[in-house]
Every structure is written in C-alpha cells, then in structure tokens.
Amino acid sequence: MCVIALAYQSAACGPLLVAANRDEYYARPTAALDFWRPEHPDVLGGRDLQAGGSWLAMDVRGRFAAVTHIREGHARSAARSRGELVKRFVSGNESALEFAAWLKAEHGQFAPFNLLFGEVRNLLHFNSRSGMLNRVPPGIHVLSNADMNSRWFKCEQLRTRLQQQTRPPAENEVLRWLSDPTPAPVEQLPNTGVGLALEKMLSPVFINGRDYGTRASSVLMLNARGELSFTEVSWGLGGRESGRRRQSMRLTPNRNP
C-alpha cells in the first residue's frame, strides 16, 4: 500500500474504517479481492501473484494487517517480499506480541516498511527503519511511505475527509476520496531522495504514471455488530477501472484456529 487512512474506534465511523490505495507497477500480476481458498478460506484480501503475499487482508477472527513501503532515494534489494508480512500474520496463529518479537528479529530481511497489524480492537504499528513498535490509539491516523501520521499532502487530504465525518460515510464516497489525482503543491512535496519530478508524480492520493500507479483502492468498514464489508476497485493503465468487488463477513473473534 502507498497510503492508508483509518478511523479507529471512532464515535463517528465505528470500530474500524480503512481507506487505502495500493500503488504498484502495472505489470506486476495481482489477484483481486477474494477469500484465499483453498489454503486459507477465512482470509479476505487481494494477493500478489509474483511473490505470494498481500498488501491488506483480514480474517474471520479479526486479524488484520496492511503494509506500506518506506520510500528511500536508493531502494535496496531484499531477500523477502514485504507482502509476506501481511500473509504470515493474518493467516497465522501467533499472538500480536509473538509476531512483533519475530518482526524485530527478522525485519532486516525485508526492504524498509511500515506494518499495521493486530486484532481489530488492538492494533499495532511497526516501523522497520526505526525498529519501533507502538499501539495505535483510537482516532484518525494516516500512513504512507514515511512515519505514522507524517503530514504529507496525500495524508492530509484523507485525514481531513475522515475528520469531517459525523457518521460512517458511504463506500462510494470513500472511493471518490481515493480517486483524487490532485498533486501536491511544490512547497508541500516531501524530500525522500527520488528527485522533484518523481516526488510530484507520487504526491496525489491517486497515482497515474506511465508504468506505475494506483492498482487497487480498498474500503474496509467494520460495525459494532462485527459485520465487515470490504470493497476493492482495481485500476489499470491510464487510471482506468478494470474491476470492482465487494465481499462481506461476520467476525468471530473467539473462533479456534
């Protein structure tokens, strides 16, 4: 993922609302939102068909994970795909703290990343660059390719939208937020070492580049009854919609693995 906005334990938006865009090369093969049958039939999310992982997923027990990369001017290669992190936690049986201990020991095997993970009522955030693990407090949070709640233009666009809500928004409204191609003013661009032109291209909520851009927009909404709705719009070259899926399930947190 390249931007994730969440209203977490919010009086206005309920236990959890996630609005996220995954940005990736158009040529990278991807499976759209679905249950992960037959191996993990209780997990719901998209899948990366190149490395086998995922960028955002949840299972029926309420285990949730989403990953973003941390942008650096000189990207280094890594032995393992960051999508493995999402798949391992959501489909696994380790507690969040057991998984966090594994993360601290193994994060050097992956290129830099942010990971949101945990049960929906107890979310954690791990930043591999700093090695810091923190609980996510209730409220509005945005995560892109830097630290949690960094005030990047795209982050502030989504944060403002969520802060304006007095009740859960309609899914189509959230998808409209995620399709905003407005670039940041030059004075609001971050300096991540990739050069001004690329910073500008990467600055909108919705990216539409020549060979790289927003591939999926996801809206995940959980209500107080444990009912989850998960909508994903897939995008292709030229920012054209290539598919839309909506799935739902009722969480059963006490279900045995």
3-50 residue pLDDT tens: 999 999 999 999 999 999 999 999 999 999 999 999 999 999 999 999
When pLDDT is cut at 50, 70 and 90, the band that residue 254 belongs to is confident
Q: Where are the domains of the chain?
A: 3-250
φ/ψ of 99, rounded to 5, equals -65, -40
Q: What is the mean pLDDT of residues 222-231?
A: 97
How far is Cα of residue 39 from the mean position of the Cα atoms in its chain? 22
Candidates 18, 115, 121, 111; CA nearest to 63 is 121
- Name the pTM for this structure: 0.96
Say if CB 218 and CB 235 are below 8 A apart: no
- Residue 75 — pLDDT band, cuts 50, 70, 90? low
Measured between alpha carbons, how far is residue 140 from residues 5, 137, 210 in Å?
A: 7, 9, 32
78 band by pLDDT with thresholds 50, 70 and 90: confident
Task: Identify the band that residue 116 occupies on the pLDDT scale cut at 50, 70 and 90.
Answer: very high
* Fold observed for domain 3-250: Penicillin V Acylase; Chain A (3.60.60)
CA distances 96 to 47, 101, 118, Å, are: 22, 9, 5
pLDDT at 257 exceeding the cut of 80: no
